[in-house]
Amino acid sequence: MRITLGQRVENGELSLCHRLDKVAAGYVLTITDFRLDAEARSSDQAVRRFCQLIRTLLRMVPHLSYVRGMILPGVSDAHLREVRLRLRAILEREGAFWRDEDGDRWLVFCRDHQGIPTRRMAAYGNMPSTRHHK
């Protein structure tokens, strides 16, 4: 099995790794790694800026269908588990929602038919899986 991680982008406050996958509905941006810099002043604000970036991409890049990422909850490190729970809560407050895709649980940002980022999936019906597409 080969897993493609993607390209890394850093801005001094956060670092993320992403890849662009082609699907029937267009392209999906998959966030494969997300880290806050140890020097970041406010992790909540950094995550909100990350969400603003995602919404801007969804608004400005017409062929981008949705953005997704996984937050793996099962870690033995209590601090890391707490950080992930906080990240998850912030992303949900900012408009992300959970979606099952091929047996995996993804946190998804998408937009409606007018290009506005939304929590509603009805605009897309069933979004195609990216697992078997290249």
Write the DSSP string, 35-91: EE-TT-S-HHHHHHHHHHHHHHHHHH-TTEEEEEE------S-HHHHHHHHHHHHHH
For residue 130, name the pLDDT band (cuts at 50, 70, 90): very low
What is the total count of domains within the chain? 1
Residue 122 has pLDDT above 60, yes or no: no
Task: Find the helix packing angle between 78-93 and 43-60, rounded to 10°.
Answer: 40
Residue 30 located in a structural domain:
yes
Residue 131 has pLDDT above 60, yes or no: no
Residue 15 located in a structural domain:
yes
Strand-pairing partners, residue 13, are none
Give the CATH number, domain containing residue 34. 3.40.630.30
What phi, psi does 37 have (nearest 5°)?
A: -65, 145
Residue 68 located in a structural domain:
yes
The tens digit of pLDDT for each residue in 64-108 reads 889 999 887 777 888 888 888 888 888 888 888 998 877 888 899
Handedness of CA 118, 124, 125, 129 (dihedral sign): negative
Residue 124 located in a structural domain:
no
The tens digit of pLDDT for each residue in 2-36 reads 566 788 888 777 788 889 988 776 789 998 888 87
Strands 26-36 and 64-69: parallel
CA distance 62 to 68: 16
Supply the pLDDT for residue 127: 44
For residue 123, name the pLDDT band (cuts at 50, 70, 90): very low
Supply the pLDDT for residue 132: 39
Q: Among all chains, which residue has been given the structure tokens 């490190």?
A: 77
Strand-pairing partners, residue 97, are 108
Say how far residue 21 (Cα) sits from the centre of its chain.
Answer: 13
What phi, psi does 110 have (nearest 5°)?
A: -140, -175
Domain residue limits at 113: 7-118
Q: Which of 17, 41, 11, 15 is nearest to 29 (CA)?
A: 17
